Structure 1
């Protein structure tokens, strides 16, 4: 391959495994009685320490970063944009040579959008915002995630009533998910209009289930996890296993025909997986559902399911483990080993992301009255520690050097070490 060919090769078709980090960027700005604003950038002081945070990400060996834009601050009133802060961040990303996978929509909507995702203007509004961002940063930002984890979003906003607009049940889930999916379609189409060479990473939460479930429930959930992507890709035809469920909850044939006629396809599908959280287990005796440890077996299973269903390049867009540093370090080794092995077996895995880069604030903070430090979850390469001046200092853990070495290829994963030993190297 000539240098000219390499320059024209899309980033997701190169031979390298991209190493990324991600900065948690959930934004739920709506406040209510007993509910505080949840803005992870504000709570972790990223708005003030963004410059150093990006330098640390680059220094850790990442060549890519998942980073999100707070829509509610960028567009404080309909059609009025304030790019002051994002201009500086994007300029810094350019200077560092850190390629950004942009999270355009990470749960929260602007305060002016009544009823949030239910608002009839939402799909057009989110697409207009995305188009404005893509147009302004053409030449700097060209990898886009239209919306992070559509099914998780629909669960929190539409099924459990945890986040605005606080709907519940199957009806609420379907209402929210179809609005999100329509917004994703229009977002990708609008960005492509202003950036024809843009690439898209659609990021899904990788749910899994184990244990004994009531008849049909596990099968329903296993199909439902794919529903956001299937709608966007125009795959919900007459034979789709979720078609009847959508119809039973008010989705018309005309609406589903719209998705088929306007379908978009991402260049890469992102899969998020947490070894102690992604898999749900149901107790056969009590019926209680809890998170179950699934380790690398769960990761392997989930990636195979997405690879076989969509036949697209995959990016492990989130993985990490909370707890002591030695446990996090072990998961870094095990998960990278797994990705390397699956790539060697032919799976089109193009990237690995440790997410979050530093500690995040548990979403339960929003429903509590306790100080933010009570809700810090140390899952990152860096821990957050508050000093006497109330600054959340970024404290490097042993994961930083190891991540850097893995990203640089200067040390072998355990699988690669085994292969070298077999060759007598």
Structure 2
């Protein structure tokens, strides 16, 4: 194994991600949401990984469906994961393993509110790290804790269906505990492991919302600040957290058990990461490269760690995707030249995804297609989903190979 961590060599690596949201719980009016099933990744995974390799990506963000791998507490079925891991090894793909992408197994009552959740998810993470320690070295303990807390705790859309700011906090705290325990358990069996913590760093315009703008500006960092033990009595959110039931003992636990990511992943979408707040509503604002620069600067100033753009893309024409590829990579390279330690760029999702809103009606998946990808999904007469590369795929491949004019690639210390 290489003694020099890959994220310290100063290079910018290009990667892609395969959308892997799993919400297996059903309810009246709420369908199961498994993006691997809806995009037929379970059937086409070999082809999908070969396309990833063909794109020139050096890494892939790819997630494990926990609810299928651990169908009963402590019982694991690795049969499919074994095949995927071996294929990635054959292709020479670095996998940043997405251990938790929103959903919990069906047997875990009340989802993240279950008292055993932090230990259950940590035990699962440890089992993955032990089994695949010779293949996978890079792990994301939990994807986008802020989004997870919004959909599960603030908006009441996913289990455990809480609402409001109080619900947001009540979900985020066990999520953060689970992140800490997962990293601790993986490090215990895989000391060389790399940890990539990923969140969506929302940007805001305006001041009117259910909570003061100052709270929202700090809240975007809350999960990362908790797991790294940064929240104390002087923190801007201390009183806000106390109002929602977070005790001194809770915060002391995080300080006593602080873990630190090797890489901080920031997710940014030019058409909806930034929102305008007014009269209790939020409206997406197209922020373009200005928003990308603003977000990277915020995280770069706050944390002393390498950064990766772990998700970016847009729904639009092929020409619009190509334009965003060129514009966003140019900004990333310019910021690297200014001293920002950006070590990864990720087009996510790699192919067409099904909108999460599919869960809430009975329309066909095709009616919820969002064509973010470098690869389009096209329904055939046999109902299968063909993988069709669009022209943005070729542009990405050229960028990854350093062949695109106008994007000066630099090494950073």
| TM, length-normalised to structure 1 | 0.94
User: Unaligned stretches of 5+ in structure 1?
Assistant: 420-425
1:416 aligns with 2:408: yes
- Mapped to 2, the partners of 1:224 and 1:259 lie a distance apart of 16
User: Unaligned stretches of 5+ in structure 2?
Assistant: none
Query: Equivalent residue for 1:97?
Result: 92
User: Secondary structure of the equivalent of 2:120?
Assistant: helix
User: Secondary structure of the equivalent of 2:299?
Assistant: helix
Query: Equivalent residue for 2:143?
Result: 148
Question: CA shift at 1:214, angstroms?
Answer: 5.7
Question: CA shift at 1:156, angstroms?
Answer: 0.5
- Mapped to 2, the partners of 1:44 and 1:380 lie a distance apart of 12
The 5 Å alignment of 1:396-415 reads: 396-412=389-405, 414-415=406-407
- Mapped to 2, the partners of 1:90 and 1:144 lie a distance apart of 14
Query: Equivalent residue for 1:135?
Result: 130
Question: CA shift at 1:46, angstroms?
Answer: 0.2
Query: Equivalent residue for 1:19?
Result: 14
Query: Equivalent residue for 1:195?
Result: 190
The 5 Å alignment of 1:163-312 reads: 163-213=158-208, 217-283=212-278, 288-312=281-305
4+ aligned runs moved over 4 Å, structure 1: none
Question: CA shift at 1:169, angstroms?
Answer: 1.3
How many equivalent residue pairs?
Answer: 410
Question: CA shift at 1:379, angstroms?
Answer: 0.5
1:69 aligns with 2:61: no
Question: CA shift at 1:289, angstroms?
Answer: 2.0
**Partner deviation per Cα, 1:29-67 (whole Å, 9 max, x = no partner):** 000000000000000000000000000000001010000
Q: Of residues 316, 319, 339 in structure 2, which corresponds to 1:346?
A: 339
- Mapped to 2, the partners of 1:293 and 1:396 lie a distance apart of 26
1:373 aligns with 2:366: yes
- Mapped to 1, the partners of 2:297 and 2:393 lie a distance apart of 29
Instruction: Out of 11-20 and 140-149, give the one that drifted further.
Output: 11-20
Q: Of residues 317, 320, 329 in structure 2, which corresponds to 1:327?
A: 320
| TM, length-normalised to structure 2 | 0.97
Query: Equivalent residue for 1:41?
Result: 36
**Partner deviation per Cα, 1:277-320 (whole Å, 9 max, x = no partner):** 1000134xx65421000000000000000010012100000000
- Mapped to 1, the partners of 2:250 and 2:210 lie a distance apart of 30
Root-mean-square deviation (CA, aligned residues, Å) is 1.4
